[in-house]
């Protein structure tokens, strides 16, 4: 472990479905790392990955070179508890050397990860229900995790607080029924399949506060997940030749395919004075992160393809209908492949592409925090949004530069998450109401 870098790997348990034989799934995973899979094997692998957040974590770890290396080092040193900490020290990554035996090295690391995961099988089978109940229990004075809270702003100026609204039909616009489902989703009933002319488009906006999150099925069937302190604006009746939405904060999208209506996302910049970014989408899954307390916007692609475009002028955004569609289509951009992330500098409008473990970008959708060398300052910002709290500290006494890497369960109450951070670092937290005081003994 690099000096100043805190590993959270032991704060969660790896999950393997009880019905799967560990040896069998191990062989399948190892084959997937080194050889093509048959259609049947691919289907079985995808079913296993989709079965739980723990499986997705394990699959991500097996494809993460740094994590594989860390697993081998930890095993070799017989490390069971990581608590090495040097305040203010810079993080370092030990390079992985290439060799003819690289695939066997990866395989050995993968086996170690799977073996570690397997030690939890019996425990998970006996106590899964009890563990869920324990993590969701909130004691007096604690702060619960974010829940399904959002505001719906309708085209006619009316506002609906979704967390206080009854399940069922909320209203109707442009002949489309808007419903709140029992599992906390906002659903636009598209059975009528109404498209609108640009002159009479009706726009809705869904906004989550700090401490809130929400899921939406848009009129075209696209699914959207809103993280805390985020928003999405869209037409209830999309035009018949394109689909354009606006996002702010962090939003994960699974776009419904429609070859006749290309899909565009106008990503509102972290700073309102900066230009917006355009994402042109082919039926796909991707995540957008553009919070106002950040200097950069991130777009991570999991499936399909997207183009990231910058340099769009206000006059181009002012277009409507076919001229807007044509302008957006003809702009040049950078094409992302699955497993790539685009980092956009909002000041310079430069776009940098990098390889990434895309599954980690949507860990929040699967109920987890994922920190990748995040500084204490970045960790606190994430917790502030999710729990709707404030941190108080003296910069002269608390080092903010030590980094954290790993996962923490986002469904836990605040004090349990703070306890995890205290276990691996030398900062201490004290919760008073909605304020967390940070001290460094």
Q: For 343-390, how does the pLDDT look when each residue is reduced to its tens digit (9 = 90+)?
A: 998 778 889 999 998 889 999 998 999 998 889 999 999 999 999 999
- Has residue 115 got a pLDDT over 60? no
> What is the pLDDT, as a whole number, of residue 32?
78
Structure confidence by residue, pLDDT tens digits, 146-189: 999 999 999 999 999 999 999 999 999 888 899 999 888 999 98
Element (H, E) at 308: strand 296-309
DSSP letters for 187-200: EE--TT---B-GGG
Q: Which residues pair with 246 in a beta bridge?
A: 233, 266
Helix, strand, or coil (residue 258): coil
- Is 25 within 8 Å of 41 (Cβ atoms)? no
- Is 259 within 8 Å of 283 (Cβ atoms)? no
Query: What is the strand order of the sheet 428-432 is part of?
Result: 390-392, 435-439, 428-432
The torsion of the CA quartet 20, 22, 27, 28, rounded to 10 degrees, works out to 30
CA 271 to chain centre: 21
> What is the pLDDT, as a whole number, of residue 349?
83
Paired tokens of 347: 């000041």
- Has residue 71 got a pLDDT over 80? no
Tell me the residue length of the chain. Answer: 441
Chain region(s) in the chain for CATH 2.60.120.1440: 147-359
More confident residue, 247 or 36: 247
More confident residue, 23 or 213: 213
pTM > 0.85: yes or no: no
- Has residue 395 got a pLDDT over 70? yes
The torsion of the CA quartet 381, 338, 46, 183, rounded to 10 degrees, works out to 40
More confident residue, 56 or 374: 374
Paired tokens of 393: 């500290």
Of residues 199, 194, 160, 207, the one with CA closest to residue 180: 160
Owner of token pair 């949004």:
385
Mean pLDDT, all residues of the chain: 78
> Which class would CATH give 366-439?
alpha beta
Query: Going by CATH, does the domain composed of 147-359 fall within 2.60.120.1440?
Result: yes
User: What letter would DSSP give residue 96?
Assistant: P
- Has residue 91 got a pLDDT over 90? no
Contacts of 419 (CB under 8 A, 6+ apart): none
Mean per-residue pLDDT for 406-429? 90
Chain region(s) in the chain for CATH 3.55.50.30: 366-439
- Has residue 270 got a pLDDT over 90? no
Of residues 251, 293, 440, 270, the one with CA closest to residue 345: 270
d(CA 49, CA 42): 10
Of residues 133, 156, 124, 126, the one with CA closest to residue 13: 124
- Is 412 within 8 Å of 441 (Cβ atoms)? no
Mean per-residue pLDDT for 34-40? 76
DSSP letters for 408-419: EETTS-HHHHHH
What percentage of the chain carries pLDDT values higher than 70? Answer: 71
Of residues 249, 158, 250, the one with CA closest to residue 204: 158
Phi, psi of 53, rounded to the nearest 5 degrees: -65, -35
Q: How far apart are the first and last CA of the chain?
A: 23
Owner of token pair 């929400």:
214
> What is the pLDDT, as a whole number, of residue 86?
36
């Amino acid at each position: 472990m690099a000096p100043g870098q805190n590993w959270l790997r032991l704060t969660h348990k790896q999950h393997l479905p009880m019905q799967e034989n560990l040896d069998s799934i191990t062989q399948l995973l190892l084959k997937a790392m080194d050889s093509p899979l048959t259609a049947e094997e691919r289907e079985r692998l995808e079913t296993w990955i989709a079965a739980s957040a723990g499986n997705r974590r394990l699959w991500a770890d097996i494809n993460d070179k740094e994590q594989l290396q860390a697993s081998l080092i930890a095993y070799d040193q017989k490390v069971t508890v990581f608590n090495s900490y040097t305040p203010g020290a810079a993080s370092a990554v030990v390079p992985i050397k290439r060799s003819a035996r690289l695939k066997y090295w990866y395989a050995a690391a993968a086996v170690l990860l799977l073996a570690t995961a397997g030690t939890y099988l019996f425990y998970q089978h006996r106590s899964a229900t009890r563990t869920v109940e324990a993590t969701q229990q909130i004691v007096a004075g604690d702060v619960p995790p974010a829940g399904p809270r959002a505001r719906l702003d309708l085209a006619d100026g009316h506002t609906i607080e979704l967390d206080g609204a009854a399940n069922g039909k909320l209203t109707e616009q442009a002949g489309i029924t808007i419903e709140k489902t029992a599992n906390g989703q906002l659903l636009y009933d598209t059975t009528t399949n109404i498209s609108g002319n640009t002159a009479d488009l009706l726009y809705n906006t869904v906004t989550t506060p700090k401490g809130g999150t929400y899921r939406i099925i848009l009129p075209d069937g696209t699914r959207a997940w809103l993280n805390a302190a985020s928003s999405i604006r869209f037409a209830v009746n999309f035009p018949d030749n394109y689909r354009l939405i606006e996002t702010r904060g962090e939003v994960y999208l699974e776009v419904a395919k429609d070859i006749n209506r290309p899909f565009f996302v106008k990503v509102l910049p972290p700073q309102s004075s900066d230009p917006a970014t355009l994402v042109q989408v082919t039926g796909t899954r991707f995540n957008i992160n553009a919070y106002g307390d950040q200097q950069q916007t991130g777009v991570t692609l999991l499936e399909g393809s997207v183009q990231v475009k910058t340099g769009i002028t206000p006059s181009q955004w002012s277009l409507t209908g076919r001229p807007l569609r044509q302008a957006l289509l003809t702009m040049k951009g950078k094409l992302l492949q699955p497993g790539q992330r685009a980092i956009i500098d909002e000041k310079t409008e430069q776009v940098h592409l990098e390889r990434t473990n895309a599954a980690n970008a949507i860990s929040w959708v699967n109920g987890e925090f994922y920190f990748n060398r995040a500084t204490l300052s970045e960790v606190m910002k994430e917790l502030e949004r999710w729990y709707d709290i404030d941190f108080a500290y003296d910069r002269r006494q608390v080092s903010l530069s030590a980094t954290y890497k790993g996962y923490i369960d986002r469904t836990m109450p605040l004090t349990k998450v703070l306890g995890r951070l205290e276990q691996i670092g030398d900062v201490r937290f004290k919760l008073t109401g909605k304020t967390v005081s940070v001290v460094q003994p």
